[in-house]
Amino acid sequence: MRQWMERMEREGGLDALVDKSRRLVIYSYIFLIALLSYGGLIIHDVQTDGWGPLLVRIVPLLLFLPSILTRRARGHAWLCFVSLLYFMQGVMFATLPGQGLFGVLIALASLALFVGSLGYARFRSRQQRRQSEQ
Protein backbone atom coordinates (compact mmCIF):
# COMPACT_ATOMS: atom_id res chain seq x y z
CA MET A 1 0.00 0.00 0.00
CA ARG A 2 2.76 2.39 0.92
CA GLN A 3 4.64 1.72 -2.31
CA TRP A 4 1.44 2.28 -4.28
CA MET A 5 0.85 5.64 -2.56
CA GLU A 6 4.44 6.75 -3.16
CA ARG A 7 4.18 5.76 -6.82
CA MET A 8 0.96 7.81 -7.09
CA GLU A 9 2.78 10.80 -5.61
CA ARG A 10 5.63 10.48 -8.11
CA GLU A 11 3.42 9.95 -11.15
CA GLY A 12 0.53 12.27 -10.35
CA GLY A 13 2.39 15.03 -8.58
CA LEU A 14 1.78 15.95 -4.99
CA ASP A 15 0.01 19.24 -5.74
CA ALA A 16 -2.47 17.57 -8.09
CA LEU A 17 -3.23 14.85 -5.52
CA VAL A 18 -3.84 17.47 -2.83
CA ASP A 19 -6.28 19.29 -5.12
CA LYS A 20 -8.13 16.12 -6.16
CA SER A 21 -8.49 14.85 -2.61
CA ARG A 22 -9.67 18.28 -1.43
CA ARG A 23 -12.37 18.34 -4.11
CA LEU A 24 -13.47 14.85 -3.09
CA VAL A 25 -13.69 15.97 0.54
CA ILE A 26 -15.75 19.06 -0.29
CA TYR A 27 -18.19 17.29 -2.62
CA SER A 28 -18.73 14.29 -0.35
CA TYR A 29 -19.00 16.55 2.73
CA ILE A 30 -21.75 18.64 1.11
CA PHE A 31 -23.54 15.54 -0.21
CA LEU A 32 -23.42 13.84 3.19
CA ILE A 33 -24.75 16.93 4.96
CA ALA A 34 -27.57 17.16 2.41
CA LEU A 35 -28.48 13.50 2.90
CA LEU A 36 -28.40 13.77 6.68
CA SER A 37 -30.47 16.94 6.58
CA TYR A 38 -33.05 15.21 4.42
CA GLY A 39 -33.16 12.24 6.79
CA GLY A 40 -33.39 14.52 9.81
CA LEU A 41 -36.24 16.50 8.29
CA ILE A 42 -38.14 13.31 7.54
CA ILE A 43 -37.74 12.19 11.14
CA HIS A 44 -38.82 15.68 12.25
CA ASP A 45 -42.01 15.37 10.19
CA VAL A 46 -42.81 11.92 11.58
CA GLN A 47 -41.94 12.57 15.23
CA THR A 48 -42.58 15.56 17.42
CA ASP A 49 -39.23 15.49 19.23
CA GLY A 50 -38.23 18.86 17.82
CA TRP A 51 -34.99 19.53 16.00
CA GLY A 52 -32.91 17.13 18.11
CA PRO A 53 -32.58 14.31 15.55
CA LEU A 54 -31.48 16.74 12.85
CA LEU A 55 -28.94 18.47 15.09
CA VAL A 56 -27.49 15.19 16.36
CA ARG A 57 -26.81 14.18 12.77
CA ILE A 58 -25.41 17.46 11.44
CA VAL A 59 -23.47 19.13 14.29
CA PRO A 60 -20.58 16.61 14.42
CA LEU A 61 -19.88 17.26 10.74
CA LEU A 62 -20.23 21.01 11.10
CA LEU A 63 -17.54 21.00 13.79
CA PHE A 64 -15.04 20.07 11.06
CA LEU A 65 -16.00 22.94 8.76
CA PRO A 66 -13.21 25.25 10.07
CA SER A 67 -10.61 22.53 9.42
CA ILE A 68 -11.90 22.02 5.90
CA LEU A 69 -11.96 25.74 5.14
CA THR A 70 -8.48 26.38 6.57
CA ARG A 71 -7.08 23.22 4.94
CA ARG A 72 -5.65 21.66 8.10
CA ALA A 73 -4.35 18.15 7.58
CA ARG A 74 -4.89 17.14 11.20
CA GLY A 75 -8.56 18.14 11.07
CA HIS A 76 -9.00 16.01 7.96
CA ALA A 77 -7.39 13.08 9.75
CA TRP A 78 -9.96 13.36 12.54
CA LEU A 79 -12.71 13.72 9.97
CA CYS A 80 -11.74 10.25 8.73
CA PHE A 81 -12.67 8.75 12.09
CA VAL A 82 -15.98 10.60 12.29
CA SER A 83 -16.92 9.62 8.75
CA LEU A 84 -16.71 5.96 9.77
CA LEU A 85 -19.53 6.57 12.26
CA TYR A 86 -21.68 7.84 9.41
CA PHE A 87 -20.69 4.81 7.34
CA MET A 88 -21.99 2.55 10.10
CA GLN A 89 -25.20 4.57 10.22
CA GLY A 90 -25.61 4.21 6.46
CA VAL A 91 -25.14 0.45 6.63
CA MET A 92 -27.68 0.29 9.43
CA PHE A 93 -30.19 2.30 7.38
CA ALA A 94 -29.55 0.09 4.36
CA THR A 95 -30.75 -2.94 6.31
CA LEU A 96 -34.06 -1.33 7.28
CA PRO A 97 -37.11 -2.02 5.11
CA GLY A 98 -37.79 0.85 2.72
CA GLN A 99 -34.56 2.67 3.59
CA GLY A 100 -32.14 0.69 1.42
CA LEU A 101 -31.30 3.35 -1.15
CA PHE A 102 -31.04 6.09 1.46
CA GLY A 103 -28.70 3.95 3.56
CA VAL A 104 -26.51 3.04 0.61
CA LEU A 105 -26.21 6.71 -0.38
CA ILE A 106 -25.14 7.67 3.15
CA ALA A 107 -22.64 4.80 3.26
CA LEU A 108 -21.16 5.76 -0.12
CA ALA A 109 -20.96 9.48 0.74
CA SER A 110 -19.27 8.76 4.05
CA LEU A 111 -16.89 6.31 2.39
CA ALA A 112 -15.96 8.95 -0.18
CA LEU A 113 -15.46 11.44 2.66
CA PHE A 114 -13.21 8.93 4.43
CA VAL A 115 -11.07 8.28 1.35
CA GLY A 116 -10.84 11.96 0.46
CA SER A 117 -9.97 13.02 4.01
CA LEU A 118 -7.40 10.28 4.36
CA GLY A 119 -5.76 11.22 1.07
CA TYR A 120 -5.85 14.92 1.85
CA ALA A 121 -4.31 14.44 5.30
CA ARG A 122 -1.49 12.36 3.86
CA PHE A 123 -0.75 14.42 0.76
CA ARG A 124 -1.13 17.81 2.45
CA SER A 125 1.21 16.87 5.31
CA ARG A 126 3.80 15.64 2.82
CA GLN A 127 3.37 18.80 0.78
CA GLN A 128 3.92 20.96 3.86
CA ARG A 129 6.96 18.91 4.87
CA ARG A 130 8.52 19.36 1.43
CA GLN A 131 7.83 23.10 1.49
CA SER A 132 9.50 23.48 4.89
CA GLU A 133 12.57 21.55 3.69
CA GLN A 134 13.09 23.92 0.77
The pLDDT tens digits of the residues spanning 19-76 come to 999 999 999 999 999 999 888 777 655 555 667 777 888 999 999 999 999 999 999 9
Contact indicator for 122, 38 with CB cutoff of 8 Å: no
Pairwise CA distance, residues 88 & 130, whole Å: 36
Spatial separation of the C-alpha atoms in residues 120 and 93, rounded to whole Å? 28
- pLDDT for residue 39: 81
Give the predicted TM-score (pTM) of the model: 0.87
Q: Which residues of 21-37 are buried (b: 16+ CB within 10 A; e: fewer)?
A: bbebbeebbebbbebbe
